[in-house]
Amino acid sequence: MIEGMQNFEWATADDVPVRELFPGIRLRTLWSGEVASAHVLEMDPGSRWEGIDVHQPGPEEVCVVSGVFNDGIRDYPAGSFIHAPAGSSHVPQSVDGCTLFLFYPEG
């Protein structure tokens, strides 16, 4: 074993609890540190965030794993990376459904 590997933390999306945020929108927390956290967000076809998602207290980093994500203005196909700075906002939605990897470096 490589020195330091024993300190790794890991999870698979299928093995962590799922929380339904809104109808058709589910969040799975993969890891949560003192401040930062990492998640998988699954959006069913036709799902839409209720209200406006405001990024506070810090930024949101998004990688579209599959499907097409829409932030209320434009579409982002699989493989897209989005940096949403602190204080920015959007209305997450997906016509065809999508899976996102979310990282919050500052909470």
Query: What is the total count of domains within the chain?
Result: 1
Cα 36 versus chain centre, distance: 13
Is the pLDDT at 16 greater than 90, yes or no? yes
* CATH classification of the domain holding 80: 2.60.120.10
- pTM of the prediction? 0.91
> pLDDT digits over 41-67, tens only?
999 999 999 999 999 999 999 999 999
Domain-located, residue 29: no
> pLDDT digits over 90-105, tens only?
999 999 999 999 999 9
Residue 59 in tokens: 């930024």
- Reported as half-sphere exposure (CB side, CA atoms, 13 A), residue 64 has a value of 20
Domain-located, residue 7: no
Domain that residue 58 falls in: 35-102
In this structure, the dihedral spanned by the alpha carbons of residues 33, 83, 29 and 13, taken in order and rounded to 10 degrees, is -130
Domain-located, residue 19: no
